[in-house]
Structure 1
Amino acid sequence: MFSTAIGAAAAATLLLSGCGDSGGESPNAGLLDGAELTAGSKEFTESIVLSQITSKALEDAGASIEDQTGISGSATVREALESDEVDFYWDYTGTGWVNILGNTTEDVPEDLFKAVSEADAKNGIAWLDPAPFENTYRIAVKKDFAEKNGLETMSEAAEFIGANKDQGKVCAASEFINRDDGLPGLEKAYGFEFTNVVELDLNLIYTQVGQKCQFGEVFSTDARIKANDMKVLEDDKDFFVQYQGAMTLRQETLDEYPEIADIMAPISKKLTDEVMMELNGRVDTEGEMPEDVAQEWLEEQNLIAS
C-alpha cells in the first residue's frame, strides 16, 4: 500500500539530522512541570503507539505519566476516561459518532470531526485537532484468493459468498463482530451474511486469513496487510465511516493544562497514513517496543529533546 523503502530512507535521513541536535533542550521544557497524568489506550498496536507518542511528548514537557495503555475494548477505555481512571487516549471519529454518541452509519455529516467534537463537548470530553491519518475498518483476503475468484470489491465478495457457502468464513475480533459500524452493519449494507464467523484476537487475524478463514477484518493502516500478502476489498458502497484519529481527554484536564493542545498540535500534523503504517510495522513486523518506536520517532522529528 505504501513504500516501505521510501519510508525507511526518510526515517534514516531524519535520524541523521536529529543526531546533529543531540542533547538539545526540549522545545516544550517546563510547560507541564508538576502535572501528573495517566495514559490510556485500546489494546491494538496503533492505539498503544499513539499513546506512547503522547506520553513521551508530555513527559518531555515535564509531566509525570503513569502507563495504563492496552485496555481491551473501546467502551472500556472510554469509561476509564470518563471515570478519571485515565486522563487521555486516542480515539477515532467513526467510533465517536456511532459507538459513543449513538448515531447510525446512515446519517454521517460531511465534517465528521466537527460534529463529533461539538457533540462530545456536552459530555465534558475534548477532542484535540485530528491527525491526517485515517484508520478505517476493511475486509481483506489473500491476494491469490482474490485473483483466483475475481474479487476487487465488497459487492463482489457478497455475491461470491452467496454462491460459495463453503468459502465464506470471516475472521474477526469480538468488538467488530458486535459493533453496528462493524460486521452487522456491513452484512446489512451489502445484503449478505458470512457463512461462519471465527472470533479471534485482532493480532491473530492477519496470519489466519487463508488458514482458518477466507476473509478477515483488518485496519487500513496496518503494515501486516502488506507483510502477509493480503488484498483489501474496496468498500464500494461506502459503508465504513471515516475513522480519523485524534487525542481525547476530559475538558477539565485540558482546562488545567491548556499547554497540552499546543504540545500535541505539531505532532498530530505529522501523523499521516504513511507514517502510521511505518510505525505500526516497526512494532508488528519488526518486533520493536511501542515506547521505543515513539521515542525514536519524536527525536527524529525534533519534537522532543534527544
Structure 2
Amino acid sequence: MNRKLKLGALSFAALLGLTGCGLSPSTGTVPDASPGIIEEIPDLADDAKVTVTSKAFTEQLILGKISVIALDVAGYDVTDLTNVPGSQPARELLLSGDASALWEYTGTAWLTYLGYEEPVAGAEEQWEAVREEDVANGIVWGEPAPLNNTYAMAMNRKVADRLGITKLSEMSKLDSEELTFCVDPEFNSRRDGLTPMLEHYGIDRGSQVKEENIGLYDVGAIYQATAEGACNFGEVFTTDGRIRALDLTVLEDDKQYFPSYNAAPAFNAEFLQENPGVKDVMAQIAPMLTDEVLLELNYQVDVEGREPADVAYEWMLNEGLISAP
C-alpha cells in the first residue's frame, strides 16, 4: 500500500494560518500495513479523503498515528495533520473542516471548549453530555474508549505499602506529617485543584495539611520527586508512562473527585455526513484503548525513545487490527 501522507487537504488560507501559528503538520509516512480486523471499505471512492489531526503530546501522537494507519488500511487517502501544538488550534481545525477527525477528551471539551464550570459525574454521563452539546457546533462524537487520562494522586510504592494506602479516602486517617504533596502551581491554586480535593475527602488545608508540606514543581518534575520521596503524594496523569517507569502507585479516586477525561473520536459533522465509514473504523479501535494500554504505549515513547508511529503500528499488529503487508 505505502500511501504517502500529505498536506493536500488543507486550503491555502488554512495553511497560512497554520504557518502563522507556528504549527508543523506531519508530512511523513507511517509503516505499511494491510487489512486485519479493520478491512478495506467496499466501494469506497478512489479519491475519498480524510485529514487526521492531534495535539502535540505523546498520547495524542500515538492516537493520531493509530487513526492514520487505520484509515489508510480502510482505503482512504489520508492527510496526516498530527502534532498540532495546543488543544485550541487542534479544535479549530476540526471546527473549520480543515481536519476531519481528532481523538479528544470529554472533560476537556466540557470544561474548556463548552465552558462549563463543573464536570458531569460519571464517564458515560459526561460523554453523553458532551455529545449532545457539541453537535450544535458541528462536531459529532463517536463512542468513547475506556481510556481516562485524568488527574490522580500517586505514591512511591514503598511509601504506599508502609502507610497501607490504596485509596484517596484513606489519606484522612494519616497523621499530619505524612500528608505531604508535590503539585504544580496551577493545580495548587485552581478551583478544581488541591484544596477542593482535600475538602472533598474531609481533609483541612491548614490544620491537617501544612503549607510547608506542599511542594510546587513543574508538571514533569513531579513524577521523579514523588519517586524519590520528596513528598508522599504526587499529582500525576493516569496514563503517563512515567508511572510505570518509576514504579509509582496510583491511588483510587474512590469518591470520584476528578473529572472524566475519556478519549473519544470527534468528527467534523459535514465531513462525517459524506464519509460515515470513518466513524465505523474508529469504533473498532476505541474499545481496545484502555488506561493500561496507553500506559504501556506512552512508556515506549517517553521512556524507551521509540517513534509514536512505530509504537502505534506494532500495537495494532499485535491486536490484529491490521496485518503485515
TM > 0.5 fold call: yes
The percent of aligned pairs where both chains have the same amino acid is 37
The SS at the match of 2:144 is: coil
Q: 1:47 aligns with which of 60, 78, 81?
A: 60
Structure 1, unmatched stretches of 5+, are 1-21
1:47 positional shift: 2.0
Which residue of structure 2 aligns with residue 291 of structure 1?
309
1:84 positional shift: 4.5
1:151 positional shift: 3.7
Give CA deviations for 1:241-269 in whole Å, capped at 9, x if unaligned. 23322011221221232221122121223
1:251/1:182 CA distance change after superposition, 3 Å? farther
**Structure possessing the higher radius of gyration over alpha carbons:** 2
Which residue of structure 1 aligns with residue 274 of structure 2?
256
1:83 positional shift: 4.2
Give CA deviations for 1:29-85 in whole Å, capped at 9, x if unaligned. 67374345443323432222111101111222232323332523x445334433445
1:168 positional shift: 2.7
Which residue of structure 1 aligns with residue 14 of structure 2?
none
Which amino acid in the other structure matches residue 205 of structure 1? Answer: I
Structure 2, unmatched stretches of 5+, are 1-32
Which residue of structure 2 aligns with residue 279 of structure 1?
297
Which residue of structure 2 aligns with residue 135 of structure 1?
149
Which amino acid in the other structure matches residue 168 of structure 1? Answer: T
1:120 positional shift: 1.1
Deviates most, 74-83 or 228-237: 74-83
1:252/1:46 CA distance change after superposition, 3 Å? same
Which residue of structure 1 aligns with residue 107 of structure 2?
94
**TM-score of the aligned structures, taking structure 1 as reference length:** 0.75
**Aligned Cα root-mean-square deviation (Å):** 3.3
The SS at the match of 1:47 is: helix
Which residue of structure 2 aligns with residue 186 of structure 1?
197
Is 1:236 matched up with 2:254? yes
8 Å Cα contact 1:51/1:90 also seen in 2: yes
8 Å Cα contact 2:147/2:263 also seen in 1: yes
1:225 positional shift: 1.8
8 Å Cα contact 1:177/1:183 also seen in 2: yes
8 Å Cα contact 2:146/2:262 also seen in 1: yes
1:106/1:135 CA distance change after superposition, 3 Å? closer
Is 1:170 matched up with 2:182? yes
**Counterparts of 1:224 and 1:43, CA distance in 2:** 18
**Counterparts of 1:152 and 1:24, CA distance in 2:** 42
1:108/1:76 CA distance change after superposition, 3 Å? farther
Which residue of structure 1 aligns with residue 129 of structure 2?
115
1:178/1:206 CA distance change after superposition, 3 Å? same
1:106/1:259 CA distance change after superposition, 3 Å? closer
The SS at the match of 2:55 is: coil
The SS at the match of 2:314 is: helix
Is 1:62 matched up with 2:76? yes
1:178/1:65 CA distance change after superposition, 3 Å? farther
8 Å Cα contact 2:47/2:76 also seen in 1: yes
Question: Which has the higher relative contact order, 1 or 2, with Cα contacts under 8 A spaced 6 or more apart?
Answer: 1
Is 1:81 matched up with 2:81? no
Give CA deviations for 1:252-296 in whole Å, capped at 9, x if unaligned. 221232221122121223223333333223223332211011122
Which residue of structure 1 aligns with residue 39 of structure 2?
27
Which residue of structure 2 aligns with residue 12 of structure 1?
none
8 Å Cα contact 1:221/1:277 also seen in 2: yes
1:84/1:24 CA distance change after superposition, 3 Å? closer
The SS at the match of 1:132 is: coil
1:185/1:86 CA distance change after superposition, 3 Å? farther
**TM-score of the aligned structures, taking structure 2 as reference length:** 0.71
Q: 1:208 aligns with which of 225, 239, 252?
A: 225
8 Å Cα contact 2:62/2:309 also seen in 1: yes
